[in-house]
């Protein structure tokens, strides 16, 4: 990785915003505006409730369902955002005394989104209102069927709207006030919930957690939701989410992303091993024994996912050829982890990668890209696709097996004309001295957390660190670095596959306060070393 080490002058920011040097340097290096700084430093976590017309319409229709004793069906999604959305909507309908049911499709057997078969099943069971959560804007066929069956539909979603949505009511951030433009699917569901049953800390926490797992921009109401989730998790609530954290670990947005998110996502990915429809019930449970047992099972499913991804990545690497675009197909790959394998390949070989597996009469897979290559734009005009969606850096594709050879040829032809050449992007790190890394400075830096990922990454660089001790363990190499305040730890995780130098000239990484098993230390998590 190439690094640009920059010197940032913090003095203006230290004076204007009463911050210490690390925070001031980050503000200066990221060229933050006054409005951005004020929002990052704000301690206001009071949530608001959208009064947008679409939200009010949805609430009115749900109230009508209660008055008419209707049965309401929730159509969910299998990722972390989707299961949190489902839990929020179910808890809301339960609190209102509305008879309801929910269903999350099998990722492998059914794929993403509301399907006509699900609409038919809902009709047969007497549901007169369908509410989609974290999906629906692409479910044209299913929504048209619902209309023909006289079933009303409320689509709540946050994904890009590419064509007319034939729903009776559409609730989407683009139709809401500016404060709600960065909501996840769970955030959209929460706005309906808050207007119907008021504030509930557990539902706020689900929406905040989903915002992290779905990598939403951490601004406006979404930022408040994340902070609410962190406040709740720090006191062990909701118990279901808290059970997914590593015991005694620091509770921050990184912990949600590293511990909770992968476990919630693993069930949908490993749908041949676990049933994602059990997740919303777990999230809403208050039974300590059930929570403990289910959390242990989630841990097992996630470990199985990681082991299988590691094994199949090794298999995929043996199939890598000298081609500008990596198309890797194995009929026996696990469809649910093709995206992870593709990401591993793209990271290692610095080429866009699409990993695919056999699924009945289809070949299905996921692609991951590298900086400078737009996967969505590359595939959007391909012929013969059964399904396609995604964005610049990640796509999902299904191709009829009979058309796979033609699909492969289309990739080769278009890539030959594309003339793409990967250029290693330069990351920026802010120069700091070892003596600046103190508890006070790190606590002050944490005032900016959770730090929005759409800004400059908060990497810091220290030159010529004085190393007191090096400890080599199974998972990490830990350097103890001297400074005027008693020293700090610099941790290099072995999963990063970076050579651990005995006398590094420069350490580059993120800074924070680490709390582990009752011990509190200043810590750098090493991103690179030179």
384 located within any domain? yes
Residues 411 and 447 in one domain: no
Query: Distance (Å, rounded) from C-alpha 31 to C-alpha 106?
Result: 45
Residues 98 and 219 in one domain: yes
CATH number of the domain where residue 383 is located: 3.10.310.30
Locus of tokens 């676990």: 274
Residues 391 and 476 in one domain: no
Closest listed residue to residue 513, CA positions, set 495, 529, 489: 489
Quick check: 337 and 269 in contact, CB under 8 A?
Answer: yes
Residues 134 and 216 in one domain: yes
CATH number of the domain where residue 500 is located: 2.40.50.460
Task: Tell me: cis bond preceding 238? Omega within 30 of 0 counts.
Answer: yes
Write out the H or E segment, with its range, that includes residue 269: helix 261-269
Query: Distance (Å, rounded) from C-alpha 434 to C-alpha 93?
Result: 54
Strand 460-463 to strand 506-516: parallel, antiparallel, or no bridges (unpaired)? Answer: antiparallel
Length in residues, the chain:
530
153 located within any domain? yes
E strands along 439-495, which residues?
A: 460-463, 467-472, 476-481, 488-493
**Number of domains observed in the structure of the chain:** 3
Query: Distance (Å, rounded) from C-alpha 502 to C-alpha 483?
Result: 18
Query: Distance (Å, rounded) from C-alpha 115 to C-alpha 110?
Result: 8
Query: Distance (Å, rounded) from C-alpha 195 to C-alpha 188?
Result: 12
String of b and e for 323-358 (b: at least 16 CB within 10 Å)?
ebbbbbbbeebbbbbbbbbbbbbbeeeebbbbbbbb
Query: Distance (Å, rounded) from C-alpha 470 to C-alpha 33?
Result: 40
3-state DSSP: the chain helix, strand, coil percent, rounded to 5?
A: 45, 20, 35
Query: Distance (Å, rounded) from C-alpha 492 to C-alpha 465?
Result: 15
CATH number of the domain where residue 221 is located: 3.90.1640.30
Residues 401 and 431 in one domain: no
Quick check: 62 and 195 in contact, CB under 8 A?
Answer: no
- Other Cβ atoms less than 10 A from the Cβ of 506: the count is 17
The residue among 353, 384, 418 that closes a domain is: 418
Locus of tokens 């957690």: 209
Alpha-helical segments (H) within 275-403: 279-284, 288-317, 338-349, 375-379
Closest listed residue to residue 99, CA positions, set 133, 126, 137: 126
42 located within any domain? no
Residues 78 and 208 in one domain: yes
pLDDT of residue 390: 85
String of b and e for 274-290 (b: at least 16 CB within 10 Å)?
bebbebbebbbbeeeee
Half-sphere exposure of 187 (CA within 13 A, CB side): 35
Closest listed residue to residue 354, CA positions, set 373, 69, 446, 7: 373
- Other Cβ atoms less than 10 A from the Cβ of 68: the count is 9
Who contacts 224 (Cβ-Cβ below 8 Å, separation ≥6)? Answer: 44, 45, 46, 47
SS (H, E, C) 133-180: ECCCCCCHHHHHHHHHCCCEEEEECCCCCCCCCCCCEEECHHHCCHHH
The residue among 197, 231, 265 that closes a domain is: 231
pLDDT of residue 495: 85
270 located within any domain? no
In a 3-state reduction of DSSP, which class is residue 212?
A: helix
Residues 102 and 171 in one domain: yes
Query: Distance (Å, rounded) from C-alpha 137 to C-alpha 356?
Result: 25
Residues 463 and 410 in one domain: no
251 located within any domain? no
Please list the pLDDT of the chain residue by residue as tens digits (530 residues).
789 999 999 999 999 999 999 999 999 999 999 999 999 999 899 999 999 999 999 999 999 999 999 999 999 999 999 999 999 999 999 999 999 999 999 998 998 899 999 999 999 999 999 999 999 999 999 999 999 999 999 999 999 898 999 999 999 999 999 999 999 999 999 999 999 999 999 999 999 999 999 999 999 999 999 999 999 999 999 999 999 999 888 899 999 999 999 999 999 999 989 999 999 999 999 999 999 999 999 999 999 999 999 999 999 999 998 889 999 999 999 999 999 999 999 999 999 999 999 999 999 999 999 999 999 999 999 989 998 988 889 999 999 999 999 999 999 999 988 888 888 888 999 999 999 999 999 999 999 999 998 899 999 999 999 999 999 999 999 999 999 999 999 999 998 888 999 999 999 999 999 887 778 899 999 999 99
Residues 412 and 439 in one domain: no
Q: Residue 106 gets which letter from DSSP?
A: -
338 located within any domain? yes
Residue 58 tokens, joined: 């949805």
- Other Cβ atoms less than 10 A from the Cβ of 389: the count is 19
The residue among 231, 252, 278 that closes a domain is: 231
501 located within any domain? yes
Quick check: 118 and 59 in contact, CB under 8 A?
Answer: no
Residues 402 and 438 in one domain: no
pLDDT of residue 423: 87
Residues 196 and 333 in one domain: no
pLDDT of residue 315: 96
Query: Distance (Å, rounded) from C-alpha 87 to C-alpha 281?
Result: 7
For 449, the domain range is 2-8+426-529
Residues 219 and 334 in one domain: no
414 located within any domain? yes
Backbone angles phi, psi at 474, to 5 degrees: -65, -35
């Amino acid at each position: 990785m190439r690094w640009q080490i920059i010197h940032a002058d913090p003095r203006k920011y230290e004076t204007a915003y009463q911050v210490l040097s690390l925070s001031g340097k980050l503000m200066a290096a990221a060229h933050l505006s006054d409005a951005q700084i004020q929002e990052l430093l704000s301690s206001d976590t009071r949530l608001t409730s959208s009064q947008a017309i679409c939200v009010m319409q949805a609430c009115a229709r749900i109230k009508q369902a209660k008055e008419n004793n209707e049965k309401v069906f929730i159509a969910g999604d299998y990722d972390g955002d989707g299961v949190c959305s489902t839990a929020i909507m179910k808890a809301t309908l339960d609190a209102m005394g509305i008879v309801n049911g929910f269903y999350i499709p099998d990722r492998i057997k059914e794929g993403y989104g509301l399907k006509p078969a699900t609409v038919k099943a809902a009709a047969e069971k007497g549901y007169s209102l369908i509410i989609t959560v974290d999906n629906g804007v692409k479910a044209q066929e299913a929504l048209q069927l619902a209309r023909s069956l006289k079933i009303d539909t409320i689509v709540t979603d946050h994904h890009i709207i590419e064509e007319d949505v034939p729903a009776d009511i559409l609730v989407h951030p683009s139709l809401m006030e500016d404060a709600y433009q960065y909501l996840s699917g769970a955030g959209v569901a929460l706005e309906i919930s808050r207007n119907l049953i008021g504030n509930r800390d557990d539902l706020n926490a689900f929406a905040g957690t989903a915002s992290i797992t779905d990598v939403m921009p951490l601004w406006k109401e979404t930022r408040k939701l994340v902070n609410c989730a962190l406040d709740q998790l720090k006191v062990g609530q909701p118990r279901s989410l808290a059970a997914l954290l590593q015991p005694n670990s620091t509770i921050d947005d990184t912990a949600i992303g590293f511990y909770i998110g992968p476990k919630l996502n693993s069930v949908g990915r490993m749908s041949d091993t676990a049933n994602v429809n059990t997740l919303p019930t777990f999230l809403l449970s208050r039974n300590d024994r059930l929570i403990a047992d289910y959390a242990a099972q989630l841990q097992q499913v996630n470990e199985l996912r990681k082991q299988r991804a590691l094994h199949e990545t090794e298999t995929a690497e043996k199939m890598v050829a000298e081609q500008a675009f990596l198309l890797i197909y194995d009929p026996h790959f696990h469809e649910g982890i093709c995206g992870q394998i593709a990401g591993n390949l793209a990271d290692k070989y610095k080429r866009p990668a699409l990993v695919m597996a056999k699924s009945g009469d289809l070949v299905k897979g996921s692609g991951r890209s590298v900086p400078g290559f737009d996967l969505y734009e590359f595939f959007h005009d391909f012929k013969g696709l059964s399904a396609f969606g995604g964005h610049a850096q990640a796509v999902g594709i299904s191709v009829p097996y009979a058309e796979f050879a033609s699909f492969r040829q289309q990739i080769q032809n278009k890539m030959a004309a594309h003339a793409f050449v990967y250029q290693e992007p330069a990351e920026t790190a802010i120069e700091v001295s070892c003596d600046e890394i103190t508890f006070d400075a790190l606590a002050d830096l944490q005032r900016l957390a959770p730090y929005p990922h759409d800004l400059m990454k908060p990497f810091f660089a220290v030159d010529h660190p004085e190393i007191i001790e090096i400890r080599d363990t199974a998972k990490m190499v830990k350097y103890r670095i001297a400074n005027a305040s008693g020293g700090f730890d610099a941790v290099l995780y072995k999963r990063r596959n970076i050579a651990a130098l005995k006398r590094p000239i420069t350490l580059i990484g993120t800074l924070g306060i680490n709390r582990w098993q009752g011990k509190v230390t200043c810590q750098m998590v090493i991103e690179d070393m030179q």
